[in-house]
Amino acid sequence: MCHRYTITVLPSDLELWLNVKSPDTYKPRFNAAPNQILPIITSDNPREVVMAHWGFIQETRVSEAPNSKLITKSLTTLKSSKTWRKSLHRNRCLILADGFYCWKQIGKNKQVPYRIIPNHRKLICFAGIWKESEEPDKHLPTFSFLMITRPSYKPVDEICESMPVIIESGEEMRWLDSKNMSLEKLIDTMEIEDWAFLRYYSVSPRIENIKIDKPDLIKPAPATDQLGNLTLYD
């Protein structure tokens, strides 16, 4: 499951990259996780970054363990469901990132965490679906979002079975604001596989703790499982 990522760049990087305005509340995140407040760009306002809750607010409580069905939706489900196809057509968003985490299963109860990053650029955009709360909570932002996932391609398939849908470089705003693009074309764009685009390295198992959000989490570390045991995998 794709349930952690990073967005560690400065606001100025976001603004220059996509020609958007970033909010004062934005801050770099080294362990972005469900139920956190994170930066997205919605199809309703493609020139402004907004802070949104990861997980649909009206369907989950911040104090409870997150439900994966409300955090991500697979591209396969979106393609086959009339309701979700409508949401994709009307309420797309870009989830701003510069990498994501996956866990490699090396035994029945052993996993090794890896960070996956782009080869030749700082930033990437994941595909998402957003919605606006009908009954705003003063403790939460107006917007919430889900991440769209897909079967992994190389090299991520060496680690895990699924990954976020990454929008092709240079096509981010066109995909977001695609008034002249059919739903089928939108989906085709989300199915592109760029095998030379990504690389990965092992990181500290401390990433398991969502309360830890420090720069050293993204540094390469020996391949160890969640118990701190070194492995022969890399």
Lowest-confidence segment of 25-29, 59-63, 174-178, 201-205 by average pLDDT: 59-63
Name the percent of the chain lying above pLDDT 70: 87
For residue range 46-80, list pLDDT tens digits in order. 999 999 999 986 544 555 555 555 899 999 999 99
* Distance from the first to the final alpha carbon of the chain: 20
Residue ranges and CATH numbers for the domains of the chain are 5-218 (3.90.1680.10)
What is the average pLDDT score of the chain? 87
pTM: 0.90
pLDDT of residue 142: 84
The whole-angstrom separation of Cα 83 and Cα 104 is 33
Mean pLDDT of the 139-164 span: 92
Is the distance from CB of 12 to CB of 28 less than 8 angstroms? Answer: no
Q: If pLDDT is split at 50, 70 and 90, which confidence band does 106 have?
A: confident
- Say which DSSP state 48 is in: B
Tell me what pLDDT residue 60 has. Answer: 46
pLDDT at 218 over 80: yes
Question: For residue 57, what pLDDT is reported?
Answer: 65
**How many angstroms separate the CA atoms of 89 and 184, rounded?**
10
Facing residues of 132 across strands?
Answer: 143
Q: Which two tokens stand for residue 125?
A: 């955009």
